[in-house]
Amino acid sequence: MNVTGSITPTSDTTLAAQLTGVRKVYRMGESETVALDRVDLSIPAGEIVALVGPSGSGKSTLCSIAGGILTPSAGSVIVGGQEITGYTPRQLTAFRRETIGFVFQSVNLVPFLTARENLLVVDEIGRRHRSAARARADELLEELGLSEHSRHLPGELSGGQRQRVAIGRALMNDPALVLFDEPTSSLDTALGDHVMGLIRSEMKVRNTAAIVDTHDERVTHHADRTVHIIDGVLNA
Ligand SMILES: Nc1ncnc2c1ncn2[C@@H]1O[C@H](COP(=O)(O)OP(=O)(O)OP(=O)(O)O)[C@@H](O)[C@H]1O
Ligand SMILES: [Mg+2]
């Protein structure tokens, strides 16, 4: 890994995430794509950042790096007080499980498990006691207005309800940072607005930070801050 020597980030525990001088280059055969360049982004605990940019601007790449799915070509990434830049794959797996919540556009619920079981799956790989995990899942389902649907399979839920299950799942392990990739893109305007409002209230009540990737300027008023990204460069 190639980490720039000139940057010596200091870990600030009031920050949920701090990206400094992040660069990401994808190499495919002869060609190179600079997906991110000189990205500096600090997110205080509890802040909701909307990351807005056109297709191909680097949004998913930035979230993947903040979530420890991809490693940067250069720069430093500190999330939840952990400098993850030099982590081994094994350390990154633990980091993703314990420190990050992910809500992907495709939602990715397990189709043959009920809403409640989809939340409990997170804990199968976590370390919470079984009864504590069930209580946590039920509490989240209730907050998200899904108590009545906890025994439904994803195929028996509406798009918005599936989104809410995915939000609940992302919150099961009390993450420092939740990454939302286009959470409203498959929803109509009213439902998209509702889901963003829900994301906001769920994050605020826990003082959990979030990055919300979106093309959708209609939902950015729910964020505390909007950061624009064009050709891999941030523009606040
Ligand atoms: N695995 C990869 N290999 C090579 N190039 C990639 C890879 N992933 C992304 N890219 C390129 O990096 C750039 C940024 O892609 P990224 O997926 O981060 O954009 P995005 O803003 O999330 O786009 P969208 O809104 O369409 O999801 C694009 O030019 C893309 O083609
Ligand atoms: Mg994307």
Q: Residue 215: inside a domain, yes or no? A: yes
| Residue 180, phi then psi, degrees to nearest 5 | -110, 120
Q: State pLDDT tens for residues 206-229.
A: 999 999 998 888 789 999 999 999
Q: For residue 189, name the pLDDT band (cuts at 50, 70, 90).
A: confident
Best of 26, 182, 215, 217 to mutate for ligand 1, by most ligand atoms within 8 A of CB?
A: 26
* pTM, entire model: 0.87
Q: Residue 123: inside a domain, yes or no? A: no
Q: For residue 182, name the pLDDT band (cuts at 50, 70, 90).
A: confident
More confident residue, 5 or 170: 170
97 CA distance to ligand 1 middle (Å): 24
Please identify, by atom number, the ligand 1 atom nearest to the C-alpha of residue 36.
Answer: 14
Is residue 55 within 6 Å of ligand 1 at its C-beta? yes
Domain count, the chain: 1
pLDDT attached to residue 185: 79
Residue 228: give the domain boundaries.
Answer: 15-109+174-235
Q: Residue 159: inside a domain, yes or no? A: no
Amino acid code (one letter) for 230: I
Q: Residue 121: inside a domain, yes or no? A: no
- Transcribe 4-32 into DSSP letters: -TT--PPP-TTEEEEEEEEEEEEEETTEE
Q: State pLDDT tens for residues 29-72.
A: 999 999 999 999 999 999 999 999 999 999 999 999 999 999 99
Non-local (6+) Cβ contacts of 33 within 8 A are 25, 26
Instruction: Note the maximum CA span of the chain.
Output: 54
Q: For residue 2, name the pLDDT band (cuts at 50, 70, 90).
A: very low
What is the C-alpha to C-alpha distance for residues 150 and 128, in angstroms, rounded to an integer? 20
Indicate which CATH number applies to the domain containing 76.
3.40.50.300
Q: State pLDDT tens for residues 122-159.
A: 766 556 678 888 999 999 999 889 999 999 999 999 88
Best of 25, 61, 214 to mutate for ligand 1, by most ligand atoms within 8 A of CB?
A: 61
pLDDT attached to residue 81: 95
Q: Residue 2: inside a domain, yes or no? A: no
Q: Residue 133: inside a domain, yes or no? A: no
pLDDT attached to residue 58: 96
Q: State pLDDT tens for residues 89-130.
A: 999 999 998 999 998 776 678 888 999 998 888 766 556 678
Q: Residue 149: inside a domain, yes or no? A: no
Q: Residue 212: inside a domain, yes or no? A: yes
